[in-house]
Structure 1
Amino acid sequence: MRSNADPVGVFDSGVGGLSVLSEIRRQLPAENLIYVADSGHAPYGDKPQAFIEKRSFAITRFLLDRGAKAIVVACNTATGAAVASLRTRFTLPIVAMEPAIKPAAAQTRTGVVGVLATSRTLASHNFVKLFERYGAEVEILPQACPGLVDQVEAGDLAGEKTHSLLERYLAPLLARGADTLVLGCTHYPFLRASIQEIAGPDIAVIDSSEAVARQLCRRLEAHGLLNEANEPGSDRFWTSADPAMSGPVITQLWCRDVSVDRLPEAKVHKAPEH
């Protein structure tokens, strides 16, 4: 039996899902949150689907073992590769990502929308469905962005290499008239300032964090699991990388000092059950 005070488990291929966690914390201040950054295996974008599915399953089990009442898959790549399988194996609420193509299609003035994402997300069934649904209304330009996740994982949000990569990926989208950019990876909101600087003030930059937090709120309410306590909820952080390396990056992105624990690999390497 789950209770209102039980935590919400959130995971990502690395630190990018902190952009979602931050919005969850803003909208649901009383919830206790557990975050797992699988930074020891980031990025997921160049990994086989079976590997991503195995990691997603094992991390979900880890979060359940710590009492999670709901799971947020704060990773577009893991959503595309594993969320359908997770939902067939677990009965608790599982909230996942979806690139913000629907709101982008509604607000574009030029009719051209650029989507920045990993190559695996762009090849996923979820993205293909969105492309087919909204591609008839607007021109959707998918842009794979290898290397950007690594820059965020290193905490390099505005360095020369990061800026150069962004210029390379944004140039073809802007040249074709995109006036709305969708951040289709949870790492990319941490690059928003640099993206906006390169693209210019007239270009809209949107992501799915707010929508995911709202959906989590709806799912918790529907299951009678919303924490309505008057005191702020707690935050706990785990990483599959060396906490001495990823801990400072998590502190940087979370904007306050945090303690980061090492994810027990023996537990994570447990194979999915069929």
Structure 2
Amino acid sequence: MPQPHCTSPIGVFDSGIGGLSVLRELRRELPHENFVYLADSGNAPYGERGDEFVERRTLAIARYLQEEHRIKALVVACNTATTAAVAQLRGSFPDLPVIGVEPALKPAASSSQTHRVGVIATRGTVQSARFEQLRQAFSDGTEFRAQACDGLVSAIERGVEEEDPANGPSAQEIRRLCARYAGMLGSFGVRTGDIDTLVLGCTHYVFIKDELRRLLGADVHIIDTGAPVARQTRRILVQQGTLAAESDRDTGSGQVHLYTTGRLPALQAAARRWLDLPATHCSALPA
């Protein structure tokens, strides 16, 4: 297989459209890079499936991106896939730099003034051994309260195609679920005993940050991992000597193409809404 070079694309994938939040940060950090994104929406949500299934899909997607697109690095823009399969992925593709995403417990513990941090994520992430390791590693002086948010990813996926995304049936469902799960975590605020920091442990949840902000108030710190993952990707490309340069514009740098195993119109709507990309950048794949 030919070796990737500086103008080869970076592969990015998620169980659905949530990883577009990471891709958005990657494009900001690395404007001269080419990207290929795969939304495995036909098999979503990963967070409500077992680890064996998620591992199998992760390895299959990595193989497809490497064989068909000759990617030079892979960003696993899915917390569930990272916890379930990143070790197996690195073992199966030892020459492929792999960047995963994990709930940002360390910066949350450092920034919290009340020493109480809420974490919302999929059930697969919350119940994973890796999440428990992270919780234990940073729990000295900080209480982490984690909540699995069943149904929230599916509501976000459905809502992207609705005519009125802000007020349609899915938006109402998202508001109901956010209120329910926030209430299960406890009181939010800056008083003693309050949760003053919320970690978004799923890349989909970045797209409902405004709703969470309205619900929790302006004083609560909401943390996601998109920008740190983009910076880490840059560091790895520099180390590998495969970072695209501004001069690579002449060879078509900065291109992005999106694929989905689910409904093509949903990906096209998400690309327009969150990445300002036209429908021509999107294609469908078999599930």
Amino-acid identity (%): 43
Q: Distance in 1 between matches of 2:58 and 2:26?
A: 20
Q: 1:255 and 2:268 equivalent? A: no
Instruction: Identify the residue that residue 190 of structure 2 maps to in structure 1.
Output: none
Q: Distance in 2 between matches of 1:241 and 1:140?
A: 35
- TM-score, L = length of structure 2: 0.89
Instruction: Identify the residue that residue 200 of structure 1 maps to in structure 2.
Output: 217
How many residues were matched structurally?
265
Does the 8 A contact of 1:155 with 1:249 survive in 2? no
Does the 8 A contact of 1:39 with 1:246 survive in 2? no
Q: 2:73 aligns with which of 70, 85, 88?
A: 70
Q: 1:188 and 2:238 equivalent? A: no
Letter in 2 for 1:151: A
Letter in 2 for 1:178: I
Instruction: Identify the residue that residue 244 of structure 1 maps to in structure 2.
Output: 265
Structure 2: gaps spanning 5 or more residues: 188-192
Structure 1: gaps spanning 5 or more residues: 266-274
Instruction: Identify the residue that residue 238 of structure 2 maps to in structure 1.
Output: 221
Q: 1:6 and 2:23 equivalent? A: no
Q: Using a 3 Å threshold, how does the CA distance of structure 1 residues 108 and 201 change in structure 2: closer, same or farther?
A: same
Query: How many angstroms does 1:69 deviate by?
Result: 0.4
Q: Deviations over 1:196-218 (max 9, x none)?
A: 01000000001111111111111
Query: How many angstroms does 1:67 deviate by?
Result: 1.0
Query: How many angstroms does 1:126 deviate by?
Result: 1.7
Q: Distance in 2 between matches of 1:233 and 1:23?
A: 13
Q: Distance in 1 between matches of 2:243 and 2:286?
A: 29
Letter in 2 for 1:222: Q
Q: 1:111 aligns with which of 115, 129, 153?
A: 115
Instruction: Write the mapping of 1:21-170 to structure 2, written as runs, cut at 5 A.
Output: 21-65=23-67, 66-90=69-93, 91-155=95-159, 158=166, 159-170=171-182
Q: Deviations over 1:220-249 (max 9, x none)?
A: 111101001343500100000121343223
Q: Distance in 2 between matches of 1:244 and 1:185?
A: 23
Letter in 1 for 2:175: H
Q: Deviations over 1:175-210 (max 9, x none)?
A: 261100000000000000000010000000011111
Q: Distance in 1 between matches of 2:263 and 2:89?
A: 27
Q: Distance in 1 between matches of 2:64 and 2:128?
A: 25
Does the 8 A contact of 2:268 with 2:278 survive in 1? no
SS of residue in 1 equivalent to 2:32: coil
Q: Distance in 2 between matches of 1:97 and 1:119?
A: 16
Q: Distance in 2 between matches of 1:263 and 1:195?
A: 33
Q: Using a 3 Å threshold, how does the CA distance of structure 1 residues 252 and 155 change in structure 2: closer, same or farther?
A: farther
Query: How many angstroms does 1:174 deviate by?
Result: 4.1
- TM-score, L = length of structure 1: 0.93
Q: Distance in 2 between matches of 1:78 and 1:37?
A: 12
Q: Distance in 1 between matches of 2:284 and 2:184?
A: 40
Q: Distance in 2 between matches of 1:8 and 1:2?
A: 10
CA RMSD of superposed structures (Å): 1.4
Query: How many angstroms does 1:14 deviate by?
Result: 0.3
Q: Distance in 1 between matches of 2:275 and 2:37?
A: 11
Q: Distance in 1 between matches of 2:274 and 2:60?
A: 25
